Structure 1
């Protein structure tokens, strides 16, 4: 095992470094834009990098809390850009259409943060992340959608760019 760690040391170190650099850059970005929120949380969706970035703190003093890989809207049905706030939440939707998307949190009208798509039997129907293929919603791993559902209060600012 030690041999493998040494063999792949640079690869693992670079991955860790890139994640740290991304989180630092994301934090610097939101703090440079004077974003504020009615809650102690702020969400910035980075469309270019397919990331949902969650911060805690306050205006000009946001600290990176979470960064999740996501799927965004495809070209024909893009995720809306702009500044929004979180609204209603629900456990799941889509049963009447033969699927389930878990742990939804609204950010604009019918646009939601929610899990990847599951079949009614619980198997994964479409688990792809890091792509532009939704109808405009932001898909996340189920555990990450649940974290938002559990922790992000209504009226939290969501910035999508």
Structure 2
């Protein structure tokens, strides 16, 4: 232990070493700092999707890897991961049918997790949210936005045979 006044002099902020370690779920990471943060490897380095923080780590060979902080208060899936869920079934290379994609906050992290070899079919029926979703998908080649009513699965049923995982974040109107 000891004291070791951990304040850091002027200009410490940029140089603060953040260590990023793999989480037990493949494709999810933990940035170890004063406050540990859940994160995913940014598919589109240099871009935030919804104003989230980014963490850059330099490899031995000088290349950089960028991670995006995944806020559990903005994503049920992130909350589940932090809560210790056994398996999220979403991993690098998986194809996900994501129902209730909204403006794509969580979808962008799912896109990070499945990576360039995976795919996310992102279904959202509100056209207002759909606009953000479509814009996000322009930069992320592995996201296919589908602006349809998630309660009418016939419209996207043809996709179901093509996916490994179905993730539903749809509020049922009859939930009161």
TM-score when scaled to structure 1?
0.23
Say which one has the larger Rg. 2
TM-score when scaled to structure 2?
0.22
